[in-house]
């Protein structure tokens, strides 16, 4: 009966793809893949663009001959087996332009993360799934898409940092995509100052890293008198310094990045605050079944009508039931950021229209949490459950 109640509530609050939609999506992705013999231990995706172009030429020729390219392509993909090896020790991460060229043996869990090898996100993915195949992606959007298109099984993406605050881009993408939060992982970030071998701290004039990493090490970098330059990610900065053999430039990145790209660690733990922790969300195509056997957290997003005390009423549905809120984040509603004033101000835009992201400590298997959301739904203009998942407490 409890399981039925949970399913009934979620179906009322969230829109789910029909089985036919999921099936057609999976078939579309699989039609672009080829059979590849690979070892599960590989941490890098293998791209098969050259193989596809060769097969496409064969298909096109046969298409002119009998006009049945669809069946021919299917036969080619079933009959052919390829052994593919990457020649690049540090291949480029997935981008949205070649997602469909990615292949997997399917013998182990594939987990997408944003950045290149050595990124903190890769370490977080490996912490969440120690035996996974970590797949780098160029952008956050690409990681979301790769899960939706069945190219990977999970995505592990940062959502907030104890020093730098929220990752707003990922909040927006959570709403845009139809993935579910199935877990979280907290990772302690330890920044290092890296440089090529033979380069000393006094030789450095500038340092490269992600903007948040540079901000988290502001005091140390200021004392060293280094010019700070922002790049897309920490590991990417280390890779650039190594490949370009820069002698006056360092990078702020992880010790793992130093090992991967052959750099020397000039200083460790250079962050201004030792308690530097990033919280990552684990995303999947399907939600997990929430339980009550251990602490759970639920994430939701909702919008409200403008008016006095409306937000107070929304939060009160949790307080009345003694449900603890762990986070609230507001983001402007993109399609309608301004609401017209109704106070006689000539109808000019006055109010921002907001979406509210809330995390609370309760499982959707708990009747108390179900009642809270039913109550909230009475005056919310929009409500969606993003996920109900086990709380992660380890900071290692």
Positions marked active-site = 278, 280
Q: How many helices (H) and strands (E) does the chain have?
A: 13, 21
Beta-bridged to residue 227, according to DSSP, are: 206
Write b or e for each residue in 304-338: b if 16 or more Cβ atoms lie within 10 A of its Cβ, otherwise e: bebeeeeeebbeebbeebebeeeeebebebeeeee
Measured CA distances, 225 to 68, 205, 220, 321 (Å): 67, 8, 9, 53
Measured CA distances, 279 to 84, 109, 135, 158, 184 (Å): 35, 21, 19, 6, 7
Collapsing DSSP to helix, strand or coil, 40 comes out as coil
DSSP 41-83: T--S-EE-HHHHHHHHHHHHHHHHHHS-HHHHHHHHHHH--EE
CA-atom Rg of the chain in angstroms? 24
Tokens representing residue 177 in the block: 């995509």
From the list 225, 238, 235, 240, the residue with the least C-alpha distance to 264 is 238
Collapsing DSSP to helix, strand or coil, 137 comes out as strand
* DSSP single-letter state for residue 339: E
Collapsing DSSP to helix, strand or coil, 281 comes out as strand
Q: Residues 368, 321: contact at Cβ < 8 Å?
A: yes
From the list 148, 144, 142, 153, the residue with the least C-alpha distance to 174 is 144
Q: Residues 189, 235: contact at Cβ < 8 Å?
A: no
Residues, the chain, total?
Answer: 396
Q: For 391, phi and psi rounded to 5 degrees?
A: -75, 135
Beta-bridged to residue 160, according to DSSP, are: 166, 279
Would the CA dihedral through 57, 58, 62, 67 be positive or negative?
A: negative
């Amino acid at each position: 009966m409890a399981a039925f109640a949970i399913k009934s509530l979620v179906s009322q609050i969230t829109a789910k793809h029909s089985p036919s939609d999921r099936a057609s999506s999976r078939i579309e992705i699989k039609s672009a893949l080829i059979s590849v013999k690979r070892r599960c231990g590989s941490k890098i995706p293998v791209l098969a663009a050259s193989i596809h172009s060769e097969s496409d030429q064969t298909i096109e020729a046969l298409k002119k001959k009998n006009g049945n390219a669809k069946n021919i392509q299917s036969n080619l993909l079933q009959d052919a087996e390829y052994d593919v090896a990457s020649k690049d020790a540090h291949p480029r991460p997935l981008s949205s332009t070649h997602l469909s060229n990615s292949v997997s043996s399917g013998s182990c869990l594939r987990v997408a993360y944003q950045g290149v090898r050595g990124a903190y996100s890769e370490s977080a993915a490996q912490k969440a799934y120690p035996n996974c195949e970590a797949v780098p992606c160029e952008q956050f959007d690409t990681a979301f898409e790769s899960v939706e298109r069945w190219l990977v099984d999970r995505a592990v993406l940062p959502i907030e940092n104890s020093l730098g605050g929220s990752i707003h881009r990922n909040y927006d993408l959570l709403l845009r995509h139809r993935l579910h939060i199935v877990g979280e992982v907290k990772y302690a970030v330890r920044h290092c100052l890296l440089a090529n071998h033979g380069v000393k701290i006094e030789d450095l004039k500038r340092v490269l890293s992600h903007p948040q990493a540079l901000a988290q090490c502001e005091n140390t970098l200021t004392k060293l008198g280094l010019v700070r330059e922002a790049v897309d990610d920490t590991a990417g900065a280390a890779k650039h310094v190594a490949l370009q053999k820069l002698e006056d430039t360092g990078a702020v990145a992880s010790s793992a990045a130093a090992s991967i790209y052959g750099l020397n660690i000039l200083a460790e733990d250079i962050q201004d605050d030792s308690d530097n922790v990033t919280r990552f969300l684990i995303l999947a195509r399907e939600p997990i079944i929430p339980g009550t056997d251990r602490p759970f957290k639920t994430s939701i997003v909702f919008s409200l009508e403008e008016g006095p005390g409306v937000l107070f009423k929304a939060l009160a549905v949790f307080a009345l039931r003694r449900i603890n809120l762990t986070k609230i984040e507001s983001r402007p509603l993109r399609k309608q950021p301004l609401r017209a004033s109704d106070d006689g101000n000539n109808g000019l835009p006055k109010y921002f229209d907001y979406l509210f992201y809330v995390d609370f400590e309760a499982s959707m298997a708990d009747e108390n949490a179900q009642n809270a959301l039913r109550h909230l739904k009475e005056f919310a203009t929009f409500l969606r459950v993003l996920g109900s998942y086990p709380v992660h407490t380890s900071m290692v």
